Chain A
Amino acid sequence: MLIELERRSAPSRIMMLASPAIAVALTVVTAALLLAAIGVDPVHGLGVYFIAPLSTGWSLQELAVKASPLVLIAVGLAICFRANSWNIGAEGQYLAGAMLGGWFALAYQTAGAWWVLPGMLLLGALGGMLYALIPAALRVFFGANEILTSLMLVYVAQFGLDYLVRGPWRDPHGFNFPQTVAFEPAATMPLLLAGGRLHWGVLLAPLAVAVAIVFLGATLRGFELRVVGMAPRAGRFAGFDVRRDILLAFAVSGALAGLAGIIEVAGPIGQLLPTLSPGYGFAAIIVAFLGRLNPIGILLAGLILALSYLGGEQAQIALRVPLDLTIVLQGALLFYVLACDTFILYRLHLFGGRRKAVQRAA
């Protein structure tokens, strides 16, 4: 029997929707097999991994806190990717937003007025936006590859932050450790529920999803971005300004990444530190693709990826399985998504009989 991939005449709509679901299912099966292989009862293990984090109020809050920066950044990236602009530097824009917004907090938090927090959010978004416009401008005006420039700027932002928290912004009473003073209540996200970590900033993630749905689906500018992304020549013929669209796409995704950064700083972290992100900007790229570059899909994908982090910690604590299992499963999820995506454009063709195989060979 021979197996062959045959190109479909048109992309399969069913597979487009089913692919992530199949990928998640295959990942769960893989998880079960791996758990059994290291001697953990798969049913119990899967329960700890995927169900336990959903079973208590605390872990649900944590899930939302973990998923919200991923979703915010990924929604922006999806808009950018759809316009065929490859912003790989969301991590840097996240940090730029955290820095500019953090500066506002450090400068004005003692004033203690109601405008401190909104000002931080505004400047956070602005910081990310301006930082994203650097690779966009380099591409538009000089033809520089935006994948490289946006990625390189991540390191620039990291070292910039490093310099600030070790140098001019260092807490003078912090034993010379690299950190700023802790933010005052005026510069901190209010909690949604007392006693946990769920804060108002988390609500901005679903809000961004809703706005993105409207923007991409129901506005001319959103349509323009999609056309420019899918067929730049057609876009030009239609009179769309491709350069402006690239700048716009980067500005939106940078602003959302910057917003995510300042929300993390004003929320769970509460001060500027040398490490503000466990790689959210890069993980969001996975979320964007897992969610089919579709805002609703991204919301789900962000929750799934967040769940895998939380489950991984639960599994370490309760089952004492190594962290490597989590990393393997996250990798497997990406692998299955990419593999299943093949079937959007291709279909499997099985050659049952020997005769057909010979015919083909001839």
Chain B
Amino acid sequence: MIRREFLRGTALLASLPLVARPAQAAERLKVGFIYVGPVGDFGWSCQHDIARKALEQALAGKVETTYVENVPEGPDAERAIEGLARSGCKLVFTTSFGFMDATVKVAKRFPEVKFEHATGYKRAENLATYSGRFYEGRYVIGQIAGKMSKRGVVGYVGSFPIPEVVSGINAFMLGAWSVNPAMKVKIVWVNSWFDPGKEADAAKALIDQGADIVTQHTDSPAAMQIAEQRGVHAFSQDSDMLKFGPKAQLSGIIDNWSPYYIERTRAVLDGTWTSGDVWGGLGSRMVVMAPFTNMTPEVKMMAEATTASIAAGKLHPFHGPVYKQDGTLMVKDGAVLPDPDILGMNWYVKGIDEKAPG
């Protein structure tokens, strides 16, 4: 028995500052996480896992966490989520859009367990949703791209044409046009969140088509590595990817889930948890900008100023007038696009030549 504890302890030491002992574990709140990718994707899932570790550290002695990685969005997700609930987790974070219906179903069966689903829109008494206003960060990097691009062409590696990604493309281009109205975008869809091979191929194809800035809405640093090799600029996605593109990276969008995870877990511990929907942006620091690197001080100052005014609520990326591709006025001058319209965005803004998805 002692040997078993010792062995298990050494196994966990590598990844965790804390080693749970079964006697104490009973009193601790068990928190479970489901990831769509591997924790080593250096992107989306990795950021959630960093927040999980931060949660363990912040509430040391009160919580115990566990996770299941690389869970496919589909019939397997429900089993993995239920597995966490059955193993005694009282709070479960399901961190990809495709886990939505599975989370809803399991939440119904485990009314005493609290569920938190990232990027979805279905809620219940014990199921809350949360997401980041990534489009705010995309406006900032779009502006940087507008200043830094010499050829005026940006290559965009897209995952799936869902509203989160489409609104990101629109925000990026609105940012770019605010400093360079002649900016063009080329988009390649890889139809995957995590497929480094395809992401790299897409980046290569875009650079071959004349893009001298690459940005991506996929989870690996593959596009960044290609940009570094080919001597063009790129933006990181989800995490800081500077080590993959020390000369290429200009800035990027970092998902910062730690404060939210700690706050929500504390709420469960205090018994004050209620369901709801949180959509945090630059202001609440759920979305933060990667350091502004490889650019002139003027561009850096501009980016910092834009970040600050979006965070302060003075600048909205979708402030009017915004026109749809066919010229329809979508947001009147002086107004901003309401949240539900951003969440369901399936149209490109005027000036994007690509065919709108869906």
Across the interface, name the chain B residue whose C-beta is closest to A43: B4
Interfacial chain A residues near B57, Cβ < 8 Å: none
B127 to chain A, nearest CB (A): 16
Which residues of A (136-158) have their CB < 8 Å from a CB of B? none
Contact A41 B163 (CB under 8 A): no
> Do A313 and B11 have beta carbons less than 8 Å apart?
no
**CB–CB B69/A323 < 8 A:** yes
Sort A-B residue pairs by CB-CB distance and give the 4 closest, nearest first. Answer: A39-B11, A176-B346, A278-B72, A268-B75
| Interface residues in chain B, defined as those with a beta carbon under 8 Å from any beta carbon in chain A | 3-4, 7-8, 10-12, 15, 32, 38-39, 66-70, 72-76, 78-80, 82-84, 86-87, 97-98, 101, 109, 121, 160-163, 191, 343-346, 357-358
A62 at the binding interface (Cβ < 8 Å): yes
A275 to B195, CA, bound (A): 15
User: Contact residues of A with B, CB < 8 Å?
Assistant: 38-41, 44, 56, 58, 62, 65-66, 162, 166-167, 170, 175-178, 182, 195, 197, 264, 268-271, 273-278, 309-310, 313-314, 316-323
Cβ contact within 8 Å between B161 and A166 = yes
List chain A residues, Cβ under 8 A from B80: 313
Interchain CB contact under 8 A, B8 and A40: yes
A-B contact pairs, 7 of them (CB 8 A): A41-B3, A65-B79, A166-B161, A176-B346, A270-B101, A275-B72, A309-B76
Instruction: Determine if B76 and A278 form an interchain contact, defined as CB atoms under 8 angstroms apart.
Output: yes
- Given A166-B357, A176-B345, A178-B160; A41-B12 close (CB under 8 Å): no
Q: How far is the CA of A310 from the CA of B83 in the complex (A)?
A: 9
- The residue of chain B having its C-beta at the shortest distance from the C-beta of A177 within the complex is B162
Check if A322 sits within 8 Å of B74, measured CB to CB: no
What chain A residues lie within 8 Å of B78 (beta carbons)? 197, 268
Q: Are B32 and A317 in contact (CB under 8 A)?
A: yes
Question: Would B87 and A66 count as touching, CB distance under 8 A?
Answer: no
Contact B98–A195 (Cβ < 8 Å): no
Q: Are A66 and B79 in contact (CB under 8 A)?
A: yes
- Bound CA–CA A170/B11 (angstroms): 46
Which has the most chain B C-beta neighbours within 10 Å: A182, A271, A273, A276?
A: A273
Q: Are A176 and B162 in contact (CB under 8 A)?
A: yes
Tell me whether A317 and B69 are in contact in the complex, defined as CB-CB below 8 angstroms, given that A38-B11, A270-B101 are known contacts: no
CB of B129, distance to nearest CB on chain A (Å): 12
> Judging by beta carbons under 8 Å apart, are B162 and A313 in contact?
no
Bound-state Cα–Cα, A162 to B74, Å: 14
CA distance A261 to B357 in the complex (A): 26
Question: A277–B74 contact, CB under 8 A?
Answer: yes
Q: A44-B4, A170-B358, A177-B162 are in contact. Are A317 and B72 (CB under 8 A)?
A: no
Q: A166-B357, A178-B160, A323-B38 are in contact. Are A316 and B97 (CB under 8 A)?
A: no
* Residues on B with beta carbons closer than 8 Å to the beta carbon of A323: 38, 68-70
